[in-house]
Structure 1
Amino acid sequence: MAAQSAAPARRRDDATEAWIVLAVWMATVVGGTITGLLTARAAEGVFAEQRADRRSVSAVLLADVPLSASGIGGAHDKASAKVRWTTADGVTRTGSTLVETGQKAGAEVEVWTDGRGALSTEPPTPTEAAVEAGVLGVAAGLALSGPVFGVGAVARWWLDRRRIQQWGTEWTRVGPLWSHMTG
């Protein structure tokens, strides 16, 4: 009886799949961490620039701001209103911004301006900026994981199809030999 060569216990495709899984996890962990840290650092830089650039100034309401019709938010309801303020270089400007409701024309309100004296939003506090930068960093890291897992899934799908095709080829060769032994 001639000795037949035994099929290896582990096919080359199985080892390839193991390396693909390892690469996907490494890219997710290392790449996600680096992406998240870079994003968080960039966001913190933007927030720091906003805090350095923006200033709180006094403005005067040009019209009454009626109470909110909803009555739900209470004293914290805000509405858009026209205001007038003076920039650091002495120029008087007008514009619309959100102010608390229920105020009368002529009331003094606090508004935020940017480095050019235009109305802006209040910059985030250092704590708010740190939290938002952290959330953005985590989101960026997770956003990287989607495509990485997708590429890994496609590679594993391709390997599975190739293995199934190889199994079919091997069965076509070996199957008839088994049917002769059972007679």
Structure 2
Amino acid sequence: MAGTPPTTVTPVRLWHWRRNPLRRHSDVVEGWIVLAIWVLAVLAGGLAGVVAAQTFERSSRVHPVSAVLTGPAPHAQAGSGGYDDGRVWATVRWTDTDGSVHKGQAKVFPGAPQGSRVTVWTNSKDRVVNAPVTGVAATLEAVMTGVLVAVPVGAAVWGAGRLVRTRLIRRRMAEWDEEWKQVGPWWGNLSGGNRG
């Protein structure tokens, strides 16, 4: 007696859009929702990442200015080391291109006399900042900022779409339950009703 070969279930791709007697309007809507979720997640994540990278790049634009020490720089303290580069904080003053005078704290070499010239980096708000990262490191920082923003934004859009899809599935299951309440008793009579 030859046995029947085992059947394998192959997934039907794009079943939401294929014509079949079991497909319902809610299946088509779900298919479009899933497609929209993925497209929106990718687009929103990508757009947010690009905007974040450009914003980071703009905010990290700094320019060098020549400043003078307003007083003598303190001497280095004993025991400082580790990540310290040996410089100390001191107050500096500089004149902007529009003639306005600014003051700020900058790292200078210990013991530098008052009036010594130092180069400091300032941002668009005329605040002293660290020297800029350049080249590949700057590009990497901008890209990483974009990625760190893109992933959660895309995930948030996907999560919101997943919630919509879950509600749609629950609605479809409720519709099936209602239809089964109508067909179920008839189905039971059909399958075993002529036993006598």
Question: Structure 1-normalised TM-score?
Answer: 0.68
**Which residue does 2:74 correspond to in 1?**
64
- If each structure's helix is expressed as a fraction of its own residues, which one has the higher value? 1
Give the Cα separation in 2 of the matches to 1:91 and 1:15.
66
**CA 1:24/1:86 → structure 2, altered by over 3 Å: closer, same or farther?**
closer
Match 1:156 to one of 155, 165, 168: 165
Q: Structure 1 residues 18, 8: CA separation in 2 closer, same or farther (over 3 Å shift)?
A: same
Find the counterpart in structure 2 of residue 3 from structure 1: none
Is 1:84–2:97 an aligned residue pair? no
CA distance in structure 2 between the partners assigned to 1:165 and 1:154 by the alignment: 17
Q: 3-state DSSP class of the match of 2:91?
A: strand
* In structure 2, C-alpha distance between the alignment counterparts of 1:30 and 1:144, rounded to whole Å: 10
Residues 52, 146 of structure 2: 8 Å contact kept: yes
**Residue in structure 2 matched with residue 28 of structure 1 by the alignment:** 41
Moved more, 129-138 or 118-127: 118-127
Give the secondary-structure state (helix, strand or coil) at the position aligned to 2:177.
helix
Change (3 A) 1:148 1:88: closer
Kindly tell me: are residues 179 and 126 of structure 1, through their superposed partners in 2, closer, same or farther at Cα, counting changes over 3 Å?
same
Counterparts of residues 48-127 of structure 1 (less than 5 Å): 50-51=61-62, 54-60=63-69, 62-67=72-77, 69=79, 71-73=81-83, 75-76=84-85, 81-87=89-95, 94-99=103-108, 103-104=110-111, 106=113, 110-113=119-122, 118-127=126-135
Supply the distance in 2 between the matched residues of 1:78 and 1:158 (Cα, whole angstroms). 61
5+ residue gaps, structure 2, are: 1-19
- Post-superposition shift, 1:15? 1.5
SS for the counterpart of 1:179 is: helix
Change (3 A) 1:8 1:93: closer
Q: Distance in 1 between matches of 2:44 and 2:104?
A: 45
Query: Matches of 2:119 and 2:81 in 1, distance apart?
Result: 23
Deviation at residue 166 of structure 1 after TM alignment: 1.1
> Structure 1 residues 54-63 or 133-142, which shifts more?
54-63
Q: TM-score, normalised by structure 2?
A: 0.65
TM-aligned CA distance change 1:129 to 1:159, over 3 Å: same
Structure 1: give runs of 5+ residues left out of the alignment.
Answer: 1-6
- Cα offset, 1:13, TM superposition: 1.4
Alignment length, in residue pairs?
Answer: 168
Q: Root-mean-square deviation (CA), in Å? A: 3.4
Give the secondary structure class of the aligned counterpart of 2:82. Answer: coil
Deviations 1:61-113 (A, max 9, x none): 6342544756433x53666x23234436788765423457xx23538554334
Q: Which SS does the other structure have where 1:76 is aligned?
A: coil
Change (3 A) 1:18 1:91: closer
Give the CA deviation at 1:14: 1.5
